[in-house]
Amino acid sequence: MYVAEGTNVCSCGNTGCLESFAGQNAIMAASGFSQDSPIGNLFAALMRNETRASKAVASAADYLGLALADFVNICDVPTIVLDGLYSKLFEYLKEPLLLKLSKRVLSSKWAKINVLKSISTSNSVAFGAAWKGITKFIDTPSRWKKQIKNKLNYYPITDTPSVTLSE
Ligand SMILES: [Zn+2]
């Protein structure tokens, strides 16, 4: 997602992407750490209130807030759940994000926007997609239960229905 003019090349090959301003590599570099430095160094620097790390995370929050505000303006979602690195940085991101969202989201005067920390420990997007697909599959037995009268009341293994993990 494009957020601003930039010179750092994103992993997608473009410049100006959110990741190149607020991704882990960008935050580490702005904090003065190499990209292969353990992420714990960043958290230690934040715990010590080191200016460079604090500014790096504040800058990331600013760009993340810009991107999220655009997303909320388009998709009108009431809740944002931070996962991954952003979940670990939640205490540093929540207030700046809420401030940015209240300024930039068109409906913020009438509808509260929640910023929450993911309770998942990892891969919440994949788990969420899988969960949604599984519940949809279970909720619609007509998709997987044999409808025609047959000796078998189930699909033979060679005729297993496929499930699409999408809306
Ligand atoms: Zn990109």
pLDDT tens per residue, range 70-112: 999 999 999 999 999 999 999 999 999 999 999 999 999 999 9
**Ligand 1 centre distance from Cα of residue 15 (Å):** 7
- Give domain 1-119's CATH number out of 3.30.420.40, 3.30.565.10, 3.30.70.360, 3.40.50.1100: 3.30.420.40
Contact by Cβ (8 Å): 108, 69: no
Query: Ligand 1 centroid vs 128 CA: distance in angstroms?
Result: 23
Output 35-42 pairs: Cβ under 8 A, ≥24 positions apart: 39/85, 39/88
User: What's the mean pLDDT when you consider all of the chain?
Assistant: 88
- Which residues belong to CATH 3.30.420.40 in the chain? 1-119
* Ordered alpha helix ranges (H), 8-89: 18-22, 24-31, 39-47, 51-75, 84-88
The torsion defined by the Cα of 75, 76, 81 and 84, in degrees rounded to 10, comes to 20
pLDDT tens across 33-47, in order?
998 999 999 999 999
> How close is the Cα of 17 to the center of ligand 1, in Å?
5
